[in-house]
């Protein structure tokens, strides 16, 4: 078991900076998830921790020890690849025990560990097969088994479930969570599936363009996103945004039609964007007090939830999510969108979230 510390880690491929001065501390036993859009550097960061790519600048510590230049084979880690990377010419048993054999471990001990891992992952009946003869889910289990058997102090997963279908993915997600609960080893897990991130993580690290946008528990990130990127990244469907501007003479904040908001003077950090999550909105009758006005576009019934689209202006369509059916409105019909102050997010020019209460004083919503 080990903590991981990254100090100003940067990585560039030629002139292209993939990671830019990453600082991060991961506690012993934590389950950390890296998320971010495709190409933001998640895999690169994970591989830098593993020692599979050398960092260009900065230092990596595992278990408090400097390992920046230590080869991957000496870092005491295990890595589960997206493609599983099983040895095609070895059967499952040898795939799992290969590293142990290499380390000259006693045969009996190897067998014992193999049996334990196989039982744990329910792959005991597959031990004689070649990777080719396994299904995707079975390969995934073998890959995890191979990682487990060496009893590493740190587990690294790079999108391990992305090649599986939805059902299997859920099942394996559960298994991985269970595994972490059982062995308690530090785990770092890369994904771009936010459900995986939200459900598995002790803390989530959100990356964008090679930088950390925010680190925190899933709840923190969801409720108190540090900036517009994080707010927009987590949540499905994503948060609705709209431009706002402050009328300096009246101190009123103007947004999409029907949205007006009193502030107590202008602070240093003027909000330019507002955000409201789809589930924080409710369709009300057009003209209802404090509602944002728009026209109904269409509704989708997903069975367990309902999504509606409401057009606020020519180039702005908002999403509304509800557990109640949202149909019953005609396309083009004028509707209002009700919202509550506690659900409102405001972001300044730089995209940083402006704390509504603190920056603006008590907020009073007035009718337009």
Partner 1 sequence: MTQTSDRYSNRTYRRLKALKRIGLYAGVTLVLIYMLFPYYWAIISSTKTRESLYSFSLVPSLDFSNYISLFNNPIFMGAIVNSAIIAISSSVLSLVISLLAAYALGRLHFKLSRIILICVLMISVFPQVVVLSGMFEVIGWLGFYNRPAALIFSYLLLILPFTTWVLTSFIRDLPVELEEAALIDGCSRMRILTHVLLPLMGPAIASTGLLAFILAWNEFLFALTFILTDENRTVPVAIGLLTGSSRYEYPFGQIMAASVTVTLPLLILVLIFQRKIVAGLTSGAVKG
Partner 2 sequence: MRNRETRTAWLFLLPLLVALAAVAVWPLVRNVYFSFTNAFLDNPSEYSFVGLQNFITVMEDPVFWGAVTNTMIFTLISVSFETVLGFGIALLLHRAFAGRGLVRAAILVPWAMPMVVSAKIWEWMLNDQFGLINKALIWLGFLDKGIAWTADSSLILGTVIFIDIWVTTPFMVLLILAGLQLIPEEIYEAAEVSGVPAWKRLWSITLPLAAPAIGVAVLFRTLDALRMFDLSYVIAANNEKAMTMSIYARDQLIGFQDLGVGSAASTWVFLIVGLIAILIVSLLRLDRSTA
Ligand X SMILES: Nc1ncnc2c1ncn2[C@@H]1O[C@H](COP(=O)(O)OP(=O)(O)OP(=O)(O)O)[C@@H](O)[C@H]1O
Min separation Cβ 214 and partner 2, Å: 28
Report the side by side order of strands in the sheet with 77-80: 77-80, 154-158, 186-190, 31-35, 203-208, 211-216
Based on CB atoms, which residue is closest to partner 2, 131 or 275?
A: 131
Residue from the set 77, 120, 187, 198 that interacts with partner 2 by CB under 8 A: 77
Q: What residues between 26 and 55 interact with partner 2 by CB under 8 A?
A: 50-52
Based on CB atoms, which residue is closest to ligand X, 15 or 330?
A: 15
Min separation Cβ 78 and partner 2, Å: 6
Q: How many amino acids of this chain bind partner 1 (CB under 8 A)?
A: 24
Does position 93 interact with partner 2 (CB under 8 A)? The reply is: no
Min separation Cβ 142 and partner 2, Å: 11
Min separation Cβ 46 and ligand X, Å: 8
Calculated CA dihedral for residues 211, 53, 121, 170, nearest 10 degrees: 30
Token pair belonging to 83: 């493609």
Note the residues at the interface with Mg ion (CB under 5 A).
43
Residue from the set 1, 25, 69, 83 that interacts with partner 2 by CB under 8 A: 83
Q: How many amino acids of this chain bind partner 2 (CB under 8 A)?
A: 26
Report the partner that residue 229 touches, choosing among partner 2, Mg ion, ligand X, none (CB closer than 5 to 8 A by kind): none
Report the partner that residue 43 touches, choosing among partner 2, partner 1, Mg ion, none (CB closer than 5 to 8 A by kind): Mg ion
Does position 146 interact with partner 2 (CB under 8 A)? The reply is: yes
Residue from the set 52, 70, 177, 262 that interacts with partner 1 by CB under 8 A: 70
Q: What residues between 18 and 57 interact with partner 1 by CB under 8 A?
A: 54
3-class SS letters over the chain: CCCEEEEEEEEEECCEEEEEEEEEEECCCCEEEEECCCCCCHHHHHHHHHCCCCCCEEEEEECCEECCCCCHHHCCEEEECCCCCCCCCCCHHHHHHHHHHHCCCCHHHHHHHHHHHHHHHCCHHHCCCCHHHCCHHHHHHHHHHHHHHCCCCEEEEECCCCCCCHHHHHHHHHHHHHHHHHHCCEEEEECCCHHHHHHHCCEEEEEECCEEEEEECHHHHHHCCCEHHHHHHCCCCCCEEEECEEECCCCEEECCCCCEEECCCCCCCCEEEEEECHHHCEEEECCCCCCEEEEEEEEEECCCCEEEEEEEECCEEEEEEECCCCCCCCCCCEEEEECCHHHCEEEECCCEEECHHHHHCCCECCCC
Note the residues at the interface with ligand X (CB under 6 A).
13, 18, 36, 38-44, 192
Based on CB atoms, which residue is closest to Mg ion, 43 or 295?
A: 43
Based on CB atoms, which residue is closest to partner 2, 25 or 83?
A: 83
Residue from the set 10, 12, 20, 63 that interacts with partner 1 by CB under 8 A: 63
Residue from the set 7, 17, 20, 98 that interacts with partner 2 by CB under 8 A: 98
Does position 150 interact with partner 2 (CB under 8 A)? The reply is: yes
Based on CB atoms, which residue is closest to partner 2, 96 or 126?
A: 96
The binding track of 141-170 with respect to partner 1, each residue x by CB under 8 A or -, is ---------xxxx-----------------
């Amino acid at each position: 078991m080990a903590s991981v510390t990254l100090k100003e880690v940067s990585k560039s491929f030629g002139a292209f900076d993939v990671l830019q001065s990453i600082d991060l501390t991961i506690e012993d036993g934590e389950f950390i998830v890296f998320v971010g859009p495709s190409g933001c550097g998640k895999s690169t960061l994970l591989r830098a921790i593993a020692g599979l790519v050398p960092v260009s600048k900065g230092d990596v510590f595992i278990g408090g020890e400097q390992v920046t230049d230590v080869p991957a084979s000496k870092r005491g880690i295990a890595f589960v690849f997206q493609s599983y990377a099983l040895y095609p010419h070895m059967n499952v048993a040898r795939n799992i025990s290969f590293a142990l054999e290499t380390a000259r471990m006693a045969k009996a001990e190897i067998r014992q560990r193999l049996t334990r891992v196989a039982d744990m992952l329910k792959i005991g009946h597959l031990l004689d097969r070649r990777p080719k003869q396994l299904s995707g889910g079975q390969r995934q289990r073998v890959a995890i088994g191979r990682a487990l058997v060496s009893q590493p102090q740190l587990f690294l997963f790079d999108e391990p479930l992305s090649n599986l279908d939805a059902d299997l993915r859920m099942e394996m997600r559960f298994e991985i969570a269970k595994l972490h609960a059982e062995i308690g080893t530090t785990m770092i897990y890369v994904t771009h599936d936010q459900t995986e991130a939200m459900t598995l993580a002790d803390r989530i690290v959100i990356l964008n363009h090679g930088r950390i946008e925010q680190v925190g528990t899933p709840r923190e990130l969801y409720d108190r996103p540090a900036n517009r990127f994080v707010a927009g990244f987590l949540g499905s469907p994503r948060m609705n945004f709209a431009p706002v501007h402050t009328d300096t003479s009246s101190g009123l904040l103007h947004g999409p039609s029907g949205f007006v908001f009193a502030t107590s003077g202008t602070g240093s950090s003027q909000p330019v964007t507002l955000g409201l999550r789809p589930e924080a909105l409710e369709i009300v009758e057009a003209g209802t007090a404090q509602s944002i006005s728009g026209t109904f576009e269409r509704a989708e019934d997903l069975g367990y939830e309902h999504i509606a689209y409401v057009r606020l202006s020519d180039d702005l369509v908002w999403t509304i999510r509800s557990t109640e059916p949202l149909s019953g409105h005609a396309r083009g019909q004028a509707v209002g969108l009700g919202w509550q102050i506690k659900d409102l997010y405001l972001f300044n020019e730089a995209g940083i979230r402006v704390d509504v209460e603190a920056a603006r004083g008590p907020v009073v919503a007035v009718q337009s």
